[in-house]
Amino acid sequence: SGIVVSFGEMLIDFVPTVAGVSLAEAPGFLKAPGGAPANVAIAVARLGGHCAFVGKLGDDEFGRMLVAILRENGVDYSGVTLDSGARTALAFVTLRADGEREFMFYRNPSADMLLTEAELNLDLIRKAAVFHYGSISLITEPCRSAHLKAMEVAKQAGALLSYDPNLRLPLWPSAREAREKILSIWDQADIIKVSDVELEFLTGEDSVEDEVAMKLWRPNLTLLLVTLGEKGCKYYTKDFHGSVESFFVKQVDTTGAGDAFVGALLGKIIEDRSALQDEEKLKELLRFANACGAITTTKKGAIPALPNLAEVLQLIE
Ligand code: ATP
């Protein structure tokens, strides 16, 4: 057993009070706490696992609100730094009637982007059995260097590195730079999860066939996962590969499904690493992770929709 340490951004999504409108048409917005690495931390904790979040927030009402959310969910926040000179990041996000997701970010720069190496809680990072991160913290300095340092410290201390790139194209200067920088740390991870969309973006192919996924395989990798929404997920290890179907649910809002899936996976791996070598155990674990993702789509928002253990066991049975 051990702890999952999740590194990166936590922010507030503002989502329209009514469905299917553009940002300009929205009559009003609701606050929805988010940021993929923070969602993962809360997903682990809600299922009963030990988890810490490492990142930076503004020393403002929103930053303190987000710390309270971590605390209430049982996530260790001793790795969170507050910046009195910068704001907590905001993102306005909507799913328009035409199915397009529209984002508008307020990061100029926001506190999460200003985390420095010197501010890292290295003692906490060294306790990680699994160290998890995304790619948004790679976009600009000084956060980029802090991210790379934290990975190095965690790896040296024996942690498995877990990477979910969580592509947010509008945050990058160009698609080319996004692809390059996201792939620049690919070789170092032990576990990588991509969505079908990210697989296509990173490989430049328009299919999610095994041959395409294998382009993202690296010798150091232990487990590569491709999530396929309602179709579940595919898994690849050096010895075996296959797919695991998800559960039928009434989908309301997919936000956070990928993060719930990752949280469930990492929470199980800190309990029993042998699932990485044993295909039957891995399939059972991925059924559990799919169930967590599926439940998350049945409610609005990410964090409010993350399931507890009882809900997951009920869906599986
Ligand atoms: P996000 O919306 O958080 O960015 P993602 O694109 O990273 O998500 P998805 O592939 O949408 O990830 O979903 C992650 C997992 O959640 C899937 O692998 C699947 O197990 C489950 N899931 C997602 N949508 C559904 C659905 N409609 N029905 C059943 N399971 C689902």
Query: Is a pLDDT exceeding 80 seen at residue 15?
Result: yes
Are 116 and 137 in contact, with CB atoms under 8 Å apart?
A: no
Q: What phi and psi, each to the nearest 5 degrees, are found at residue 303?
A: -60, -45
C-alpha of residue 131 to centroid of ligand 1, in Å = 22
Are 192 and 186 in contact, with CB atoms under 8 Å apart?
A: yes
> d(Cα 134, Cα 195) in Å, to the nearest integer?
13
> d(Cα 81, Cα 77) in Å, to the nearest integer?
9
Instruction: Provide the β-strand partners of residue 163.
Output: 133, 192
Query: Which two three-digit tokens encode residue 161?
Result: 């590195």
DSSP run (H or E) holding 234: strand 233-236
Query: Is a pLDDT exceeding 90 seen at residue 248?
Result: yes
Which ligand 1 atom is at minimum distance from the Cα of 302?
A: 3
Under the banding of pLDDT at 50, 70 and 90, the label for residue 97 is confident
State the complex-level ipTM.
0.96
Q: What is the pLDDT of residues 141-156, one digit of tens each?
A: 999 999 999 999 999 9
Task: Establish whether residue 249 lines the binding site of ligand 1, counting it when its CB lies within 6 angstroms of any ligand atom.
Answer: yes
Task: Establish whether residue 255 lines the binding site of ligand 1, counting it when its CB lies within 6 angstroms of any ligand atom.
Answer: yes
Distance of CA 213 to the CA centre of its chain: 19
pTM over 0.90: yes
Q: What is the pLDDT of residues 30-76, one digit of tens each?
A: 999 999 999 999 999 999 999 999 999 999 999 999 999 999 999 99
C-alpha of residue 12 to centroid of ligand 1, in Å = 21
C-alpha of residue 141 to centroid of ligand 1, in Å = 31
The pick from 42, 227, 316 for probing ligand 1's pocket by mutation, whose C-beta has the most ligand atoms within 8 angstroms, reads: 227
Provide CB contacts within 8 A for 267, sequence distance 6+.
Answer: 4, 43, 44, 47, 48, 49, 51
Q: What is the pLDDT of residue 1?
A: 67
Which ligand 1 atom is at minimum distance from the Cα of 256?
A: 3
Q: What is the pLDDT of residues 222-242, one digit of tens each?
A: 999 999 999 999 999 999 999
Task: Establish whether residue 110 lines the binding site of ligand 1, counting it when its CB lies within 6 angstroms of any ligand atom.
Answer: no
Kindly list the catalytic residues.
Answer: 259
Give start and end residues of each alpha helix (H) in 73-162: 122-126, 143-156
**Sign for the pseudo-dihedral over CA of 131, 133, 138, 140:** negative
Task: Establish whether residue 232 lines the binding site of ligand 1, counting it when its CB lies within 6 angstroms of any ligand atom.
Answer: yes
Burial class of 310 by CB neighbour count within 10 A (0 to 12, 13 to 18, 19+): exposed
Burial class of 279 by CB neighbour count within 10 A (0 to 12, 13 to 18, 19+): middle
Query: Is a pLDDT exceeding 90 seen at residue 301?
Result: no
